[in-house]
Chain A
Amino acid sequence: MNNKKKYIYDLVLILCLCLIAILLMIITKPFSHEDNLTAQIWYKDEIIEEIDLNKESDVKQKTYTFPEGTIEIEYKHNSIRVLSSSCPNKTCVNQGWSDKTNKSIICIHNSFRIKIISKSDVDVVVG
């Protein structure tokens, strides 16, 4: 009986967590699929480059060298990925192509991140 009660508490916990996750998804709207994407290349807390992914039609590559290591990125129309990195875990490389807003690619070892933003919400037509 006592064990059964404990499992009911567990079930309530699972349901609460699902509810929190769904609410957070509704509030933050993560990873929406949009056009007009721009990739911001960050190193530590500053933007070192902005790439307009919407303009790109061919596949291009770029290499960045930091004191912590080297990162090679590849980008095409509205998509970007880390092609290779000198970090030990390669989490950033394994993440693959990123083509949604807010779906950042983060390489913690190199203090490097690619933030994808949509420029469509900036171009507001008034009148």
Chain B
Amino acid sequence: MKTKKIIFLSNLLAIAIVLNLLESLIPAIGIPGVRIGLANIVVLITIMNFRFSEALSITLLRIFLVGLLKGTFLNIPFFMSLGGGILSFLMMFLIYKFAKFSVVGISIIGSLTHCLGQILVAMIVISTKDIIYYLPFMILLSIPTGVFIGFISLKLNKLKIFDSINEKDISK
């Protein structure tokens, strides 16, 4: 891996961690625990510009490091983050590679699957299906948050910051 690439990836990881921590200071919108998903901007940008393994490692490292920084490492909120993070990353990656949605559409699916992943983990951990009643509201909220994050990622990606370090890796 080129040194330049490592620097870019480390910077993106740092940005994702800061966005994640900043976001926890913003009060939830509408439904308890629902956030805008600012760190998803970094996930989308890494999916669009880097390889699968590189993008996945940024997502996993972000979840692990935020868990350590917040003091929730290996607690239930950490596993919810991990479940939501992995599910949304995989869905966004698959849709980016194989479906015909724009970045905005991918972001909407990412935000929805992040919620779904977290709900599934919570349902398993506290063995209740009561959270399912929040699902329709989460679907509706994932649309504006997904569109917002999608547009920011689209505008940032148009700056073509990563093209110089990644000529051979861009497949799309």
A interface residue numbers (CB < 8 A to B): 3, 5-7, 9-10, 13-14, 17-18, 20-22, 24-25, 28, 30-31, 42, 44-45, 88-89, 91-92, 94-95, 102-104, 106, 108-109, 111, 113, 115
Contacts and interface: CB of A to CB of B under 8 A. Distances in A.
Contacts of B3: none
Contacts of A10: 101-102, 104-105, 108
A91 B33 contact: yes
A115 B136 contact: no
B131 A30 contact: no
The 9 A-B residue pairs with the shortest CB-CB distance, nearest first, are A6-B102, A10-B105, A30-B133, A24-B136, A21-B139, A104-B130, A21-B136, A95-B32, A25-B136
Contact of B143 (A6, A14, A106): A14
Nearest to B102: A6
Interface residues of B, number: 38
Contacts of B72: 88
B171 interface: no
Nearest to B104: A10
B164 interface: no
Contact of A91 (B28, B105, B134): B28
A27 B93 CA distance: 32
A51 to B, nearest CB: 17
B53 interface: no
Interface string B125-141: 11110111111110110
Contacts of B99: 9
Contacts of B140: 17-18, 21
Interface in B84-114: 99-102, 104-105, 108-109, 112
Given A44-B127, A45-B128, A106-B32, 16 more contacts: A9-B105, A10-B104, A10-B105, A13-B105, A17-B139, A21-B140, A24-B135, A45-B126, A89-B33, A89-B77, A91-B28, A94-B28, A102-B130, A102-B133, A108-B122, A111-B126
Contact of A17 (B76, B104, B112): B112
B153 interface: no
B5 to A, nearest CB: 28
Interface string B29-61: 000110000000000000000000000000000
